[in-house]
Every structure is written in structure tokens, then in C-alpha cells.
Amino acid sequence: MYEFDWSSIPGALPYLAQGMRISLEITVTAILAGIVWGTLLAMMRLSSIAPLSWFAAGYVNLFRAVPLVMVLLWFFLIIPHLLETLFGVPRGSDMRLGSAIAGFSLFEAAYYSEIIRAGIQSVPKGQMAAANALGMTYGQTMRLVVLPQAFRNMVPLLLTQGIILFQDTSLVYVSALADFFGAAYKVGDRDGRLVEMLLFAGAVYFVICFAFSQLVRHYQKKLKTA
């Protein structure tokens, strides 16, 4: 029988906290950047200008058809070389965090784009017609009339996708970045208590994701009764 020993966890908490900070930094930055870029992609895809619509559709289909771990590897291998070539960044600079954030942001934007596009299409067309009758431009109509209503409807889906993104940050192990999962793995491997550390990491992920899932569910109920 395997004998569990949890004594290594208290001493590892400061290192695990640093890993959690990295995981949260990636999550928050990728959510914000993904929503901004995803909104632009959604508007381009709904545009009557064919090249913009084709570009957005191609972008979304490309990133949704490729595994996230492969995208992270692409950015981990390509971005440092691009920055060295274009901006003269010293060779060997640690760009793992920046590469991970860029990869997550561009990847998640494809998913946020579809959520936002569905949210825009859920707004009654009469709203756009009324805005056009008032003399608003397309940009004003989207910014002042359509998007505020669309975002109100799709906040639960955006938050749920954020929870999934937080879980996916564990994939940055491919670039040897010490996020929360990576930190737990390294400590467990060092102390010979890998099972305990991975179980502890899994419990922390469960508590955080379950708590936020409950908040999203509570918000959905309030949205329905509002």
C-alpha cells in the first residue's frame, strides 16, 4: 500500500504561490486580450466586406482546428527568433511568459469571437434598424447599441471560457514555465512526493474552478430574473 506523506506541502507553498501568480497572470491577460481581439474578429466576420469576413473565418477555423499545446509550442519556438531578428532582443532572453501569453491570447480569441458573434446576432435586428433611423454610423451602432446588450447576454459564457482558460494554463509545461501545475510537479519530483503534490494541485484547481462556476451559475439566475 502506498503511504501518503503530505509534509512537503507546507514548505512548498511559497513556490506554489509564485506558480499560481503566473497562472493567474496568463489567465487574466489572455482573457482581456482575447475578448478585445475576439470582438474585432466577430465584427469582421459579420462585416459585409468579403476580405475581412474571409480573414476572420479563416483565423477562427485555423485556431479552433489546432491543439492548444501545438500553438504554445509554435509561439515558444517562433517568437524569440522574431524578436531577436526584428528588434535585436539579446539571444537567450527568457521570453517564455510572453510567448505563453501571446499564444493563449490569440488562441482564445478564436473561441471568444464565436461567443461574441453569437451574442451580437442575439440582439434583435430592430435595434440596428432603429439606430440607423437615428442616423448612427455602423461603428456607433455597434459600440452604443448592439455590443452593450450582447455583452450582457454573453457574460456567463465569457466567464465559463475564462475558467477553461485557467485550467488550460497547465499546458505551459511544454515551455518549462513554472506555473502552478509546473511548480507542483517540480516540487513533487524533487521531494519524491509526486502523487501528493499532484493531488494537492488537483484539489486547488477544483476549488477555484468550482467556486467560479457557482458564481457564474448565480449570475445566470440573476440574469434570467432581471
Number of compact structural domains in the chain: 1
Q: Per-residue pLDDT tens for 36-72? A: 999 999 989 988 889 999 999 999 999 999 999 999 9
Residue 39 located in a structural domain: yes
Q: Rounded to whole angstroms, how far apart are CA atoms 72 and 68?
A: 6
Residue 5 located in a structural domain: no
| CATH (domain of 74) | 1.10.3720.10
Burial tier of 20 (Cβ tally within 10 Å: 0-12, 13-18, 19+): buried
CA 59 to chain centroid: 16
Would you give the DSSP letter of residue 174?
Answer: G
Instruction: Give CA angle at 29 (24, 32), nearest 5°.
Output: 125
CA 141 to chain centroid: 28
Q: Is the Cβ–Cβ distance between 99 and 81 less than 8 Å?
A: no
Q: Can you tell me which residue has the cell 434583435?
A: 124
Q: Can you tell me which residue has the cell 461567443?
A: 115
The residue range of the domain holding 80 is 11-225
Residue 4 located in a structural domain: no
Residue 3 located in a structural domain: no
Residue 36 located in a structural domain: yes
State residue 89's pLDDT score: 65
Helices (H) and strands (E) in the chain, counts: 9, 0
Q: Is the Cβ–Cβ distance between 87 and 95 less than 8 Å?
A: no
Residue 224's pLDDT band, with cuts at 50, 70 and 90, is confident
Q: Is the Cβ–Cβ distance between 109 and 34 less than 8 Å?
A: yes
Q: Rounded to whole angstroms, how far apart are CA atoms 25 and 35?
A: 15
Residue 92's pLDDT band, with cuts at 50, 70 and 90, is low
Cell numbers describing residue 52: 475581412
Please give the average per-residue pLDDT across 162-182, as a whole number. Answer: 90
- Per 3-state DSSP, what percentage of the chain is helix, strand, and coil (rounded to 5)? 85, 0, 15
Q: Rounded to whole angstroms, how far apart are CA atoms 53 and 43?
A: 8
Burial tier of 146 (Cβ tally within 10 Å: 0-12, 13-18, 19+): buried
Residue 2 located in a structural domain: no
Residue 6 located in a structural domain: no
Residue 24 located in a structural domain: yes
Residue 178's pLDDT band, with cuts at 50, 70 and 90, is confident
Residue 93's pLDDT band, with cuts at 50, 70 and 90, is low
State residue 95's pLDDT score: 78
